[in-house]
């Protein structure tokens, strides 16, 4: 898989994450219950004491994280790749913690939260692949630069 494809996959995944977190943030502030495919797990999770961290709604934290990752994907260079991966790892760890709380504390599963956790896991995996690639900038540069003109011998 080329670096360009990995980058595009990361952009697409991040937009999906923004969509999920944006929806959950919107319904939180509107006072709506989330639409659940099965049962009332989403309502129970969204209305639990674990739905906020230091008074900030968890979906808003996720939205900020996804937007940060998206922004880092618009930048080039080693530092940008490391920033993307770092934010993805923090998001992945936070998703693990929240999934633990869903299963063992709240005893309910929110499908939206699971979807976000899967998306963040995939972002962490693909951002790791991107960091491990050493020719990332070179491939972007070759995509953007015009072909060099060769002088006749």
- 8-state DSSP, 40: T
The owner of tokens 């937007």 is 67
Q: How far apart are CA 25 and CA 21, in angstroms?
A: 6
Which domains occur in the chain, in start order? 3-35+42-137 (1.20.1440.130)
Q: How many whole angstroms separate alpha carbon 73 and alpha carbon 149?
A: 31
pTM: 0.85
Across the chain, the runs of DSSP E, i.e. the strands, are 52-53, 56-57
Q: What is the pLDDT of residues 45-83, one digit of tens each?
A: 998 999 999 999 999 999 999 999 999 999 999 999 999
CA atoms within 13 A on the CB side of 125: 8
31 φ/ψ angles, rounded to the nearest 5 degrees: 80, 20
Mean pLDDT of the chain: 89
Helix (H, G, I), strand (E, B) or coil at 52: strand
């Amino acid at each position: 898989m080329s670096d360009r494809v990995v980058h595009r996959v990361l952009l697409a995944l991040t937009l999906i994450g923004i969509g999920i977190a944006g929806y959950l943030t919107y319904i939180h502030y509107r006072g709506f219950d989330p639409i659940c495919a099965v049962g009332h797990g989403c309502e129970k999770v969204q209305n639990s004491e674990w739905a906020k961290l230091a008074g900030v709604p968890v979906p808003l934290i996720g939205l900020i994280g996804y937007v940060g990752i998206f922004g880092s994907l618009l930048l080039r260079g080693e530092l940008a790749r490391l920033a993307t991966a770092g934010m993805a790892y923090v998001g992945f760890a936070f998703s693990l913690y929240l999934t633990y709380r869903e299963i063992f504390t709240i005893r309910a599963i929110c499908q939206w939260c699971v979807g976000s956790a899967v998306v963040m896991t995939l972002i962490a995996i693909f951002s790791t692949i991107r960091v491990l690639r050493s020719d990332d900038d070179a491939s972007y540069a070759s995509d953007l630069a015009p072909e060099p003109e060769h002088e006749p011998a």
